[in-house]
Structure 1
Amino acid sequence: MCGRFAITLPHDAMAQLFDALPANDLPEVPNYNVCPTDPIHVATAGRRLVSMRWGLIPSWYEAPNDGPLLINARAEGIEHKAAFRQAVRERRCLVPASGFYEWTKDTDGNRLPWYITRRDGAPMALAAIWQDWGREGERQPTVAIVTTAANAEILSLHNRMPVILEPVDWPLWLGEAGPGAARLLGGAPDGTLDYHRVDPAVNSNRARGPHLVEPLAA
């Protein structure tokens, strides 16, 4: 899955990365502990860089908490899930991330956080889908990150991982290059990612600061 991530790129760097026009209300960066329900950066079709709430809210919810918090959408069968099928056909997007977190447990049940990045140091572009939600004329764009089975590297930490797309595939996922986006829903190739242990301080969604992604001292 993908339940927490970091984004450290300045707004102009994100806009340049996606060749996108940035909105005026983008979330503050850097953010080393992006959590569900936070506003996050999203690159949409039409190459706009905008802010959306992390946690897709289906159109039939009467309130944001009317059902499960849909921060992730499983790639397997996504086109058949009522909450996701229209969005994956019509509203695909990209979420920039510098890295994401995953957790294991020690023999005492303590949660041990790990920070995962691209081996080449490049930012990640996570496949995602979005949905407008609102009542009484107020609309809120909401987004879910698409996940898939973990590759060989991440499998030792978790059996799921976000779908990480290469730049050559961004136009296809965004619907700018014709049909065929479904074939992009696999995991990153083995050898793409690195990870290291980080301070358990990140277990708190209130934790902030660059120390959260630094390797834990031995």
Structure 2
Amino acid sequence: MCGRYTLAVSPSRLAARFSVTPPLDLQARYNIAPTQSVIAVRETTEGRQLATLRWGLIPSWAKDATIGSRMINARSETVLEKPSFRAAFRQRRCLIPASGFYEWQTLPTGKQPFYFTLRDDDLIAFAGLWEQWRSPDGTVVESCTILTTAANEIVAPIHERMPVIIPSDLDALWLDPAADIGQLYDLCRTPPPVTLHCYPVSPAVNQVRNDSEALIQPYSSLTSG
């Protein structure tokens, strides 16, 4: 799964990686959590653009927004079968930029967080879906979910699932509204290999209120030996 991630990058680097206009204000975030606002890249009739979405997809047919907290991830293997995700997969795909992400390993001492980044230090592009929901009072909420797949050899010792990561040369395919659905489905089920680096970090990341660069520093009690 993917339950926390980071985005700490300059506006110019974000713009260059995703071919979008640089955002006016981009704060470094080291503990992005479900239900918070996140940045996503979408293809529109006016070109590729950044959008601010709520993390936790709210289906258009939902009675209230609380369902979104249970839909932060969508399993790629069943995404075309689930009423909550299948329409978005066909029509509303996005990329969710990240600097890295966290996964937790269950140890005798408790759950230990690990931090994952690309080895070449490039920005990560999670495969995402987005949806628009209108509340009973007429408020429009745009939300998103991150697709997941079986963990690769780097993530598997820590967690059985990982986010689907789209390589930069496949950005256009993922965002293309006319892309072949079967090809996109195969891309999610068997994503291209990515070279990840991981290391243990402080359990302080477990608390959403903690948000500083210290969260991504190697955790000495596990790395010193």
Normalising to structure 1: TM-score of the pair? 0.92
Task: Compute the displacement of 1:178 (Å).
Answer: 3.1
Matched, 1:183 2:181: no
Against the structure 1 CA distance between its residues 62 and 176, is the aligned structure 2 distance closer, same or farther, given a 3 Å change threshold?
A: closer
| One-letter amino acid of the counterpart of residue 170, structure 2 | D
**Does 1:4 pair with 2:4?**
yes
- After the TM superposition, which of the residue ranges 15-24 and 51-60 deviates more from structure 2? 15-24
> Aligned ranges for residues 41-56 of structure 1 at < 5 Å?
41-46=39-44, 47-56=48-57
Q: CA deviation at 1:77?
A: 1.8
User: What residue in structure 1 maps to residue 33 of structure 2?
Assistant: 35
* Pair 1:66–1:52, CA change in 2 (3 A): closer
For 2:157 and 2:5, locate their aligned partners in 1 and report how far apart those are by CA, in whole Å: 19
CA distance in 2, matches of 1:31, 1:66: 25
CA contact (8 A) 2:89 2:129 kept: yes
AA of the residue aligned to 1:41: I
AA of the residue aligned to 2:197 = D
> In 1, distance between residues paired with 2:134 and 2:177?
28
Q: Identity of aligned pairs, percent?
A: 38
Matching residue of 1:91: 92
Q: Which amino acid aligns with 1:71?
A: I
Aligned to 2:217: 214
Structure 2 CA distance, aligned partners of 1:144 and 1:104?
Answer: 22
Distance 1:85-1:22 versus aligned 2 partners, 3 A rule = farther
Q: 1:34 deviation in Å?
A: 0.2
Amino acid at match of 1:7: L
Tell me, which stretches of 5 or more residues in structure 1 are unaligned?
none
Distance across 1 between alignment mates of 2:72 and 2:197: 23
Q: Give the match for residue 200 of structure 2.
A: 197
Structure 1 runs (4+) deviating above 2 angstroms are: 10-13, 21-24
Aligned position for 1:138:
139
Deviating more after overlay: 94-103 vs 135-144: 135-144
8 Å contact from structure 2 (residues 57, 68) kept in 1: no
In the TM superposition, 1:111-130 aligns within 5 A as 111-130=111-130
What is residue 161 of structure 1 aligned with on the other side?
162
Q: Does the 8 Å CA contact 1:127/1:145 hold for their aligned counterparts? A: yes
**Residue-pair matches, total:** 214
CA distance in 2, matches of 1:142, 1:152: 31
Per-residue CA deviation, residues 39-70 of structure 1 (Å, 9 max, x unaligned), is 00100013111110000011122211157620
The answer (yes or no) to whether the contact 1:61–1:67 under 8 Å persists in 2 is no
Q: Provide the C-alpha distance between the structure 1 equivalents of 2:4 and 2:69, rounded to a whole number of angstroms.
A: 17
Structure 2 residue ranges without an equivalent (≥5): none
What is the deviation of 1:149? 0.4
CA offsets per residue over residues 62-86 of structure 1, 9 Å max, x none? 2111576200000002111100000
TM-score scaled to structure 2, two decimals? 0.89
8 Å contact from structure 1 (residues 161, 187) kept in 2:
no
